Structure 1
Amino acid sequence: MAIKLVAADLDGTLLDSDKQLSPDLFPLIGALEKQGVRFAPASGRQYYNLREMFAPMADELVYISENGAMVCDGAKVISFSAMPAEVVQRAVETAREIPGASAILACREGAFYENDKDGVFLENMAHYYARRRYAPDLLRLAEREPVCKVAVFCSRKAESTVLPALAPFAAEAQVALSGADWVDLMRPGMNKGQAIGSLCEALGIAPEDCMAFGDYLNDLELLQSVGESFAMANAHDTLKKTAKYICPSNDEDGVCRTIRHILGIDK
């Protein structure tokens, strides 16, 4: 097996239920590098959030952030896929009408939000957006700032409330359920799988030589795009049916254990 790239989602995949990375992960990434294998966090999280999480080796990794809308090799931006401003503005207007929902606009240099009163939203946003700034009106911001993703938060009601409200955007935007609390809108066709294609082209490797791990519906295209796909034991049922293999859960250090087993890397 000639694996050249390993991509792994964060929440529910690399991170355990306490939102912690495995202590074995950084040594494992170092071992992968010695074998000529690149490692890519692949997340709906912000690029700057991922760099912060992987600070000890931030410039050595490749990143699939914002569910594929921003792809980087270390500090170099490989791709940034902005949405039409008019679609962004209508998405913000729709989010404003959803009870309990709050929108975030993901831009190249950081994220912007207009709801600074909801403590639950602010706490959750802080987990995923390291570089963020308050903006009094996201509609006006979208007129002047390119936006690669609109993220809409609604505590524990993303699938039941936000997803149906944003479903009409499916003809002009990629609508992805990113977890129990989040729904993301991006350019049509934009997803982690498309980002794998961009990374493979930039790195000069084939998708068949990639391995990927995921747990939720925004990982669907990621797993479909690689040669070796793994759904976590705790994954959404749809993802389990899509993946080539099932691996141990995020609370069992499933990603690290599987990589070591498949690629023959000893501790």
Structure 2
Amino acid sequence: MEIKLIASDMDDTLLNKDCQISPRNEAAIRKALDAGKIFLIATGRMYVSVRPYAQKLGLDVPLVTYNGALVKGSLSGKVYYEHKMKLPTANEVLAYCREKGYYLQLYVGDSILIKQENDCSRMYTKISGIQTTAIGDALYHTDEEPYKILVMTKSEEFADVWQQFKEDFAGKLDVTSSKDNFLELMEPGVNKWEAVKSVAASYGVQPQEIMCIGDSNNDVKMIANAGIGVAVANAKDSVKQNAKIITASNNDDGVALVIESILTPQAAE
């Protein structure tokens, strides 16, 4: 089976602890491109946070962002599709978070809206490179459909909060996570795999010809369904259990190692 398309998560997968693409990872991606492979970034991040990395790599492909809620060209800026959260659901979630006292980030357009700056927002800006916009209590009502809502909790409360969202918004939201205290809320049916599969189909690539690489809960569906699902060594156990291959960690060029392995003459046989 020839792998024709490679889709990689960013944080804690393609990026190292310094939020950088290592020289070896970059070289491997360029070799894959030279060999005619398609390389996609599939992330929970917003488009404007991903685009600089894609441009550095010279990727002229659709970028899977917001966990698949927006697929947009890295160079062209063309919107391939959007799948935003319905307004009634978004406002119900905002009211719910206000009542519970949860810290949340509302992703509208190219902006991250918050109530007020705090340690959570500063930490997120450090990771993403994107400044948040504080709007006070206006945060708790939106007139524009968001791509997603991110809720941050204390690590020890995370599992309970996740379960409560799943129960209270059953059928209204897809709930997943990208880090131990990042709860990602999207419109039902929105996930990285559906977006990657759609992009692949536009290139005439079948699911069995896709390799997906990731580390966290929002990567499970694409890793479980791809022809070759790959977990980095630092991935969560739930991700490893769904992977066909476990590569090295994000700090040890795991993405490069698995890409190099499919570029060998033996892999093409």
TM over 0.5: yes
Change (3 A) 1:113 1:9: same
Change (3 A) 1:166 1:126: farther
Q: Does 1:237 align with 2:237?
A: yes
| Percentage of identical aligned residues | 28
TM-score (norm 2): 0.88
Cα distance, 1:158 vs structure 2: 6.4
Partner amino acid for 2:158?
Answer: E
Counterpart of 2:194?
Answer: 194
RMSD of aligned Cα (Å): 2.1
Partner amino acid for 1:27?
Answer: A
TM-score (norm 1): 0.89
Cα distance, 1:249 vs structure 2: 1.4
Q: Is the 8 A contact 1:192 1:222 kept in 2?
A: yes
Tell me the distance in 2 between the aligned counterparts of 1:81 and 1:161: 27
Q: Which runs of 5+ in 1 are unaligned?
A: none
Cα distance, 1:5 vs structure 2: 1.0
Counterpart of 2:158?
Answer: 159
Tell me the distance in 1 between the aligned counterparts of 2:157 and 2:6: 29
Counterpart of 2:213?
Answer: 213
Structure 2 counterpart SS, 1:164: helix
Change (3 A) 1:59 1:11: closer
Q: Is the 8 A contact 1:8 1:42 kept in 2?
A: yes
Higher deviation after alignment, 126-135 or 64-73: 126-135
Q: Is the 8 A contact 1:102 1:121 kept in 2?
A: no
Cα-to-partner distance string for 1:14-47 (whole Å, 9 max, x where unaligned): 1223323211233322222222211111111111
2:82 to 80, 83, 87: 80
Cα distance, 1:181 vs structure 2: 2.2
- Note the 1:9-158 alignment, pairs <5 A: 9-57=9-57, 60-74=60-74, 75-99=77-101, 101-107=102-108, 109-128=109-128, 130=130, 132-136=132-136, 137-140=138-141, 142-143=142-143, 145-157=144-156
Q: Is the 8 A contact 1:208 1:228 kept in 2?
A: yes
Change (3 A) 1:6 1:27: same
Change (3 A) 1:23 1:98: farther
Cα distance, 1:222 vs structure 2: 1.0
Cα distance, 1:132 vs structure 2: 4.6
Change (3 A) 1:236 1:88: same
Cα distance, 1:119 vs structure 2: 2.9
Counterpart of 1:175?
Answer: 175
Tell me the distance in 2 between the aligned counterparts of 1:36 and 1:126: 35
Structure 1 counterpart SS, 2:229: strand
Q: Which runs of 5+ in 2 are unaligned?
A: none
Change (3 A) 1:134 1:202: farther
Number of residue pairs the alignment of both structures matches: 261
Q: Is the 8 A contact 2:63 2:71 kept in 1?
A: yes
Cα distance, 1:112 vs structure 2: 3.1
